[in-house]
Amino acid sequence: NAGVTQTPKFQVLKTGQSMTLQCAQDMNHEYMSWYRQDPGMGLRLIHYSVGAGITDQGEVPNGYNVSRSTTEDFPLRLLSAAPSQTSVYFCASGSGGRSGNTIYFGEGSWLTVV
């Protein structure tokens, strides 16, 4: 997981609160993305970015915002947290090429919404 840093590792939120999950990579990758992992659901794509200033929705974007002002950072914002957003969140970055070993994941952020 070298090169992709996520913070915080653990967070508990109350329903309605807002927060930002931070993601930074130091590999100069153009492509960055956020996934959530839920029991029995695998990893589902929330939002992704193919470069600074460019973002797009994934499979489950509702309730989340993203922005990409720099190549290095791709924060994920929860504007009004809901219990359904309790999950493990993974940030990933890649060079956008076809080689799978260029896609790196962070260690994950465990979020609980009560």
Partner 1 sequence: DQQVKQNSPSLSVQEGRISILNCDYTNSMFDYFLWYKKYPAEGPTFLISISSIKDKNEDGRFTVFLNKSAKHLSLHIVPSQPGDSAVYFCAASTGANSKLTFGKGITLSVRP
Closest distance of CB 101 from partner 1, Å: 5
Residues near partner 1 (CB under 8 A): 1, 4, 31, 33, 35, 40-45, 48, 50, 58-59, 90, 92, 94-108
Closest distance of CB 105 from partner 1, Å: 4
8 Å CB contact between 19 and 7: no
Q: By C-beta, is 14 or 40 nearer to partner 1?
A: 40
Closest distance of CB 10 from partner 1, Å: 10
Distances (CA, A) of 114 to 11, 14, 34, 46: 11, 5, 22, 21
Q: By C-beta, is 14 or 101 nearer to partner 1?
A: 101
How far apart CA 85 and CA 92 sit, in angstroms, is: 19
- Rg from Cα positions in the chain: 13
